[in-house]
Structure 1
Amino acid sequence: MRRRHRRLTTEAELDITAFMNLMIVLVPVLLLGMVFSQIRMIELNFPGMKAGEAPAAEDLRLVVTVIPTGLEIADSDRGLIEVLPAKSEAQDYEGLRSVLQQIKRHVPDKTDVILEVGPDVDYQTLVSVMDTVRSYPAVVATSVVEAELFPDISLMDAAENRVLAQSPKAAEGEGV
C-alpha cells in the first residue's frame, strides 16, 4: 500500500521591523525639512504715477542703478550721489549699504527707492542688491537685528548701452 505523505505547510512570517525602523527615522526628518524650505515672496512696487499727480519738489527720489560694471546711487532730480565700481566681478554691497545708511540719516522718513536694473544683471545680483537696500544688520541691546533702510522697492529697466558714470567730485558740491 502506498503511503501518502502530507506536505508540511508553514506560513512565512512577515517581518516588517526594518521597514518600521526606517519610517520612524524618515518621518521626523521629512517633517523637520519642511520647516526650513519656505518660499519667500518680495513685494515690488512699479514706478509710475496716477494721472494728474506731480511729485513734491523737495522729495528725494532715490535711484540705485545696477549694471554689471557697478552701482550708481543718484537722486533723479538733483543728480549723481555716489558711484561704486564692481570689485573683481562682484558688486560693492558694503559700500552701497554705507552710502544708504548716510542717506537714511539725512532723510529718516524716506522708505522708497527705485532700482534701475540693466539687462545683463543676473538674478542673484538683483536679489542681493534688494536685500542690501531693504535693511542692514544693527546691534541693539547685545542682539543683532535688521534695521530698516528703504523697504519699498520699485523696479525699472536701465538702457541696454548704460555705462557706469564717473565718480562725483566732493569739491563740486555733489553728493550727500
Structure 2
Amino acid sequence: MRRRHRRQSVSPDLDITAFMNLMIVLVPVLLLGMVFSQIKMIELNFPGESAGSSAKNEQLNLVVTLLPAGMEVADSKRGLLRVLPALDRGQDYTALREVLRGIKTRYPDKTEVILEVGPDVDYQTLVTTMDTVRSYPAVVAASVVEGELFPDVSLMNAADDRVLAEAPPVENEEGA
C-alpha cells in the first residue's frame, strides 16, 4: 500500500499595494473636503420677543423692507425714511449701507433692526441684505475690519400685495 503524503500548503502573500495607494489618495481628499464644508449660522430674532429692551433704545424702531423692486428703510413710529429702488444688477446695497451708517451715527446704542421680506425675494438676496445691515467694512490702522451697524436682525414676512413706496423727498443725508 502506498501512502499519499499531503502537500503542505503555502499561504500566498497578501498584496495590499492597491489598497494602500487608495488610502494615500483618499485620506487627503477627505481632509481637504472637511475644510470646505463648514456651515455658518446666522442668529435671528422674531419681532416683539425682546422682553428686556429699554425705553431709550425704543426711540427708533428700524424696519428695512426687502422687495424685488427695491428696499425701504423706515421707522415704524415715524414712517418711511428712504426708498432705494433696485438697480439693473440687483439691490442697491451700497446706498442701504450708507443710509444705515447715517442712522447709526444718530442712534449709536441701537442694535436691533427688523427685516421685512417680500414673498418673491430669493435666498441669496436675503442673506446679502442681512450681512449689509449687520456690519460695514471700515479701515482701522491700515487694515480692513467690520464696523457694527445693527447686528440683532429680526425677520418678518411682508404682505403678499406689498409694493415699493414712492420715494419721499430726502430731508438730510443721514436718512433719519
Task: Give the TM-score of the pair, scaled to structure 1.
Answer: 0.82
Cα deviation per residue 1:18-38 (whole Å; 9 max; x = unaligned)?
A: 321231232123123213312
Name the counterpart of 1:113. Answer: 113
| Alignment partner of 1:25 is 2:25 | yes
Match of residue 166 from structure 2: 166
| Distance in 2 between residues matched to 1:38 and 1:61, nearest whole Å | 34
1:41-64 deviations in whole A, cap 9, x for unaligned? 21111112689x996696111000
Judge which range, 38-47 or 22-31, deviates more.
Answer: 22-31
In structure 2, C-alpha distance between the alignment counterparts of 1:120 and 1:152, rounded to whole Å? 24
Whole-angstrom distance in 1 between the partners of 2:174 and 2:104: 17
Q: 1:138: which partner in 2? A: 138
Quote the offset at 1:74 in angstroms. Answer: 0.8
Quote how far apart the aligned CAs of 1:149 are.
0.8
Contact 1:168 1:175 (C-alpha < 8 Å) held by counterparts? no
**Residue 81 of structure 1 contacts residue 174 of structure 1 at CA under 8 Å; is this kept in 2?**
no
SS in 1 for 2:156: strand
Task: Provide the C-alpha distance between the structure 1 equivalents of 2:57 and 2:41, rounded to a whole number of angstroms.
Answer: 33
Give the structure 2 partner of residue 3 of structure 1.
none
Greater Cα offset, 120-129 or 108-117: 120-129
Q: 1:82 and 1:171, CA in 2 relative to 1: closer, same or farther beyond 3 A? A: closer
- Which residue in 2 is equivalent to 1:4? none
Moved more, 14-23 or 108-117: 14-23
Q: Deviations over 1:80-138 (max 9, x none)?
A: 11111111251111111111111111111110000011111111111111111111122
| Partner SS for 1:99 | helix
Q: Distance in 1 between matches of 2:87 and 2:113?
A: 23
Structural RMSD (CA): 3.1
Q: Are the equivalent residues in 2 in contact too, given 1:111–1:150 (CA < 8 A)?
A: yes
Percent identity between the two aligned chains: 69
Which residue pairs with 1:85 in the alignment? Answer: 85
Q: Residue type of the partner of 2:113?
A: V
Q: How has the CA–CA distance of structure 1 residues 94 and 57 changed in structure 2, closer, same or farther, with 3 Å as cutoff?
A: closer
Measure, in 1, the Cα distance between the counterparts of 2:30 and 2:129.
33
CA contact (8 A) 1:80 1:175 kept: no
Report the counterpart of residue 74 of structure 1 in structure 2. Answer: 74
Q: Deviations over 1:134-170 (max 9, x none)?
A: 1112222222222111000111111111111111213
Number of corresponding residues: 171
Structure 1 residues without counterparts, runs of 5 or longer: 1-6
1:144–1:50 Cα change, 3 Å: closer
